[in-house]
Structure 1
Amino acid sequence: MPEDQQEAVHKLFHDPHLPPGDKPLLIARLLDLVSTPLTKQDIAFLSNLRPFFEHAEETGTDLLSPPDDFHHWLAVPLTAPRKEGVAKVGNNTINARATALSRLYAALRHAGLVKYNPVHDLPRRKPDQSDAKLPSPDELHVLLEELGRKREPHALALFLLIYRLGFTAQAVFDLRWDDVDLQANTIRRGQVLSRLPADVRGALLRLRTPDPLLVDPTVRPRRGGETRGRQDAVFPGLHDVDEVREFLYQATRPGKGTAGGAVVPSRLRLAGLRDAQLEGDLTEQARQFGYRDVVAFHKAREGARARLSRLPPPHEEGG
């Protein structure tokens, strides 16, 4: 980062006249962490940063020179409720705040404004477990047809990787074209090699040989195209794992073919475990869904099959 930009960011951190709630946006713009106009992901990112700037103002802490007991200091802004009447912040919110702050420090380190990321080794909380019902097979069938009709190959490929092969949001984000062999019909995640079902192969083939009339909706305008260092990624425009979740949510939100609400990766993956008609012995079935441990795969599948499903979408009259 040029010295004048470094100086501008430094001044924003230490400006005593600037309200702490305004600092995250101005700093994030200088660090190219948000777009114009702001996306929903950007707004959530900034919201998760504000408690840290507000607590820094209250305690006289310089975030560019975090104290030695910084993890202890973080306990307050990580758990502070931001809405009236809310007594406790959930673990998912705490983790989202920690991830946002770590992302900010990574950008500050890249810009030469801090020497290290003091949050990268901060332990995360166990995610809150939801008892929400899984989408039904009929509902997912309607959604798949809708995605196909609307010519949304990126959304369809992401959906199928999770539903048919059990990809996690992290595995989707990490997936590179070097991991995909469209001739051998295989796909690799870590040390696990899986066969490509025909529908997943077809969706990936469309991404590999894109229609010039289609625009990748995962590419954010603030980057002018692909994110740096992700040119070989299957979804090069996704900046982080949270954007995988947001992209799937936007593609499957109500009105996009779902009957009971948008689909999120964790529940779509469980629905895939519930619905999968896998061939071969248990070891081969486990590897097909990304598991190296057969026992863990068996337990996960039985747990998914025990979950309740949402009601199927209503049929149209005359259908």
Structure 2
Amino acid sequence: MLSLPGPWQQRPLAETRTRLTPIFSAAQRDHVNLFAPGDDFHSWLMQAVSVTRHGPGTARANTMRARLSTLASIYTTLLDEELLSRDPMHGLVWPPLEHRQAPLPPPEEVTRLLRHAEPDLPLHAALTLIVRHAFQVADLLALRWPAFYHADGTLLRRRTLTRLDDPSYRSLERLLAQAGGPLADPQGPIFPYRTLDDLRRALFALSLQANVPFISPSQLRQVSLRDVDHTASSAGFASQRREPFEQAVALARSVSEKLNSSS
């Protein structure tokens, strides 16, 4: 299962195994089929993710959320590959988020960052797609030029086809011109970054140049969910599964409100 391509591959395999071990161990012990669980699956799952070496019910909320998030990403990939017909975690009530991270950056800092990125065409296009269309880094780095339909301004993503807004289209058009233009029909990767760390290093150097605090790619995506009036497809969510999209937007906005009110 873990050999399937998916968001969990951004993390070390050992970390993914650590997150999933309590769930898989409990499923083996209790004879729970994770592909087709019974009606009491949600209550069973919450009990499974709450276990630590100190016993049931001792895991912190963020630990439980991390375990649930990893399992949810696997289910999402299986649904995308049509290996599952329904999401076993649909309707699950998640533990509340423990707010320990710094407040999300204000819009003016993000605007300043994008302005300073303009001379670096690949970096500017990558950041624009994150900020305007809530791209996840794994999906961003996997993009190849045939996924960009220059004639109608759409971009084929892992779960949906997104119609690009004007800033995103212009940033990719500039990058396409650098690659030879539409007539050259480039086939390679759109971006030169091979790993998350490659992009983070470029973003860190840009933050220093723009004289703003370092803003991670995940924070920029949360800014997008907070500030942009998205549809499911504009943010990269499958349109037939609105619940994950609505939860992500609500979470980004509630986290921002709580953190900024306490800062």
TM-score, normalised to structure 2's length? 0.54
Aligned to 2:235: 289
**Residues 146 and 257, structure 1, Cα contact 8 Å, conserved in 2:** no
Instruction: For residue 265 of structure 1, report the CA deviation from its aligned partner.
Output: 0.9
Q: CA–CA distance in 2 between the matches of 1:255 and 1:133?
A: 21
Aligned to 1:146: 116
Q: Residues 118-267 of structure 1: matches in 2 within 5 Å?
A: 131-148=101-118, 151-210=119-178, 232-235=188-191, 237-251=192-206, 253-258=207-212, 261-267=213-219
**Residues 160 and 233, structure 2, Cα contact 8 Å, conserved in 1:** yes
Please give the per-residue CA displacement for 1:64-99, whole angstroms capped at 9, x wherever unaligned. xxxxxxxxxxxxxxxxxxxxxxxxxxx9xxxxxxxx
The alpha-carbon distance between structure 1 residues 167 and 306, as it changes in their structure 2 partners (threshold 3 A), is same
Please give the per-residue CA displacement for 1:231-261, whole angstroms capped at 9, x wherever unaligned. 61001x323233223222322x234142xx1
The alpha-carbon distance between structure 1 residues 130 and 254, as it changes in their structure 2 partners (threshold 3 A), is farther
Please identify which structure carries the higher helix content: 2
**Residues 130 and 221, structure 2, Cα contact 8 Å, conserved in 1:** yes
Q: CA–CA distance in 2 between the matches of 1:186 and 1:205?
A: 12
Instruction: For residue 152 of structure 1, report the CA deviation from its aligned partner.
Output: 1.9
Instruction: For residue 175 of structure 1, report the CA deviation from its aligned partner.
Output: 0.6
Instruction: For residue 184 of structure 1, report the CA deviation from its aligned partner.
Output: 1.0
**Residues 116 and 209, structure 2, Cα contact 8 Å, conserved in 1:** no
- Which is greater in Rg? 1
Aligned to 1:15: none
Counterpart of 1:194 in 2: which secondary structure?
A: strand
Instruction: For residue 161 of structure 1, report the CA deviation from its aligned partner.
Output: 0.9
**Residues 162 and 168, structure 1, Cα contact 8 Å, conserved in 2:** yes
- Aligned residue identity for 1:264: S
Instruction: For residue 129 of structure 1, report the CA deviation from its aligned partner.
Output: 8.3
Instruction: For residue 154 of structure 1, report the CA deviation from its aligned partner.
Output: 1.5
**Residues 162 and 269, structure 1, Cα contact 8 Å, conserved in 2:** yes
Please give the per-residue CA displacement for 1:100-136, whole angstroms capped at 9, x wherever unaligned. xxxxxxxxxxxxxxxxxxxxxxxxxxxx985121111
Q: CA–CA distance in 1 between the matches of 2:151 and 2:215?
A: 31
**Residues 99 and 255, structure 2, Cα contact 8 Å, conserved in 1:** no
**Residues 245 and 265, structure 1, Cα contact 8 Å, conserved in 2:** yes
Q: CA–CA distance in 2 between the matches of 1:246 and 1:189?
A: 24
Please give the per-residue CA displacement for 1:39-60, whole angstroms capped at 9, x wherever unaligned. xxxxxxxxx9xxxxxxxxxxxx
- Aligned residue identity for 1:147: A
Q: CA–CA distance in 2 between the matches of 1:176 and 1:129?
A: 36
**Residues 126 and 140, structure 2, Cα contact 8 Å, conserved in 1:** yes
Instruction: Give me the CA root mean square deviation.
Output: 2.8
Q: CA–CA distance in 1 between the matches of 2:256 and 2:232?
A: 23
